[in-house]
């Protein structure tokens, strides 16, 4: 019955037995015969047969609407489990490699994906994609780049990392203006550092700014030297003694992450692995 239901969904989608038969690579009489058998098995009519084309019955429309997304997920699942013969060379950053990619470890292993390049800034991966040194990457805040193929993947918010000694550590949520009442700990360079400095200028912040290497930020917060901002993907998986993570109201620190690939095939394939869609 599954094969016949799949064929029915195609007929409903194409609204034509002829077009559906072409897509399914079978003859129109064979498809019509399948649909009659399916109606016999189900015990109700799926089509109001008329000379002007395909018209679904009320039950036909209902079952098509419910089964279409289910079969879509079935096809995607089968595709993900099929062995991807070509090795996909993937570019990443330390944060993505440590806190995002491991979530999809089993899927990526089946997909023959290998992280071959790690850069501190995702923008440094774009030239490598263009030159063909890597096949795919996740890039921050860059929806498109030259002739490369891309699609939106997810949005990552930054959470305030606050010393337990700060009065703000008791709050369920803080404003950015409240955070600016204390020293700001930011990375020495990179897109996050530039974004933080731009927002601080917008708020006319004149307080102390402590610049440090990214891996040392949480340690300085734990020592009570100020407030920092860490990606939500990291915060969900780590715990630092002496540090409390608090969401920010009307958060000015967000980044949109885009999946890039050199071919449409790899872009579609990786999109399926990361999103299940």
pLDDT for 165-203, tens place per residue? Answer: 999 999 999 999 999 999 999 999 887 788 889 989 999
161 phi/psi in degrees, rounded to 5 = -100, 110
For the segment 52-67, what is each residue's pLDDT rounded down to a tens digit? Answer: 667 899 999 999 999 8
92: CATH: 3.40.190.10
Residue 194's pLDDT is what? 86
Count Cβ atoms below 10 Å from residue 272 Cβ, excluding itself: 17
Please indicate, yes or no, whether residues 264 and 138 belong to a single structural domain of this protein: yes
Domain boundary among 45, 61, 81: 81
- Same domain, yes or no, for 225 and 169? yes
Tell me: do 17 and 46 sit in the same domain.
yes
CA dist 137 and 264 (Å) reads: 13
Domain that holds residue 52: 2-81
- Same domain, yes or no: 198 and 239: yes
What is the C-alpha separation between 80 and 83, in angstroms, rounded?
A: 8
* Together in a domain, 7 and 38: yes
The whole-model pTM stands at 0.69
Q: How many domains does one find in the chain?
A: 3
Q: Are residues 70 and 119 in the same domain?
A: no
Measure the CA–CA gap between 235 and 187, rounded to whole angstroms: 17
Identify whether residues 33 and 162 lie together within a single domain. Answer: no
The tens digit of pLDDT for each residue in 82-95 reads: 545 578 999 999 99
Choose the final residue of a domain: 81, 113, 140.
81
- Give the CB-side neighbour count of residue 238, counting CA atoms within 13 A: 21
User: Does residue 187 share a domain with residue 132?
Assistant: no
């Amino acid at each position: 019955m599954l094969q016949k239901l799949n064929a029915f969904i195609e007929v409903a989608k194409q609204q034509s037995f002829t077009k559906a038969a072409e897509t399914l690579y079978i003859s129109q009489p064979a498809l019509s015969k399948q649909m009659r058998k399916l109606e016999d098995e189900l015990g109700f009519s799926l089509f109001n047969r008329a000379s002007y084309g395909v018209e679904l019955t009320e039950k036909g429309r209902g079952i098509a609407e419910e089964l279409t997304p289910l079969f879509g997920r079935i096809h995607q699942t089968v595709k993900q489990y099929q062995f991807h013969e070509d090795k996909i060379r993937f570019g990443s950053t330390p944060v993505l490699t440590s806190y995002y990619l491991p979530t999809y470890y089993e899927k990526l292993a089946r997909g023959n994906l290998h992280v071959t390049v790690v850069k501190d800034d995702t923008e440094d991966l774009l030239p490598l994609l263009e030159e063909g040194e890597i096949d795919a990457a996740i890039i921050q805040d860059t929806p498109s780049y030259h002739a490369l193929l891309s699609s939106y993947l997810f949005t990552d918010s930054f959470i305030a990392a606050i010393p337990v000694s700060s009065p703000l550590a008791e709050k369920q949520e803080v404003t950015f203006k409240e955070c600016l009442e204390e020293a700001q700990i930011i990375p020495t360079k990179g897109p996050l550092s530039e974004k933080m400095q731009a927002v601080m200028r917008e708020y006319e912040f004149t307080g102390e700014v402590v610049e440090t290497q990214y891996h040392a930020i949480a340690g300085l917060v734990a020592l009570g030297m100020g407030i920092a901002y860490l990606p939500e993907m990291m915060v969900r998986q780590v715990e630092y003694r002496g540090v409390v993570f608090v969401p920010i109201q009307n958060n000015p620190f967000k980044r949109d992450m885009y999946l890039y690939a050199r071919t449409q095939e790899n872009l579609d394939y990786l999109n399926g692995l990361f999103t299940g869609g």
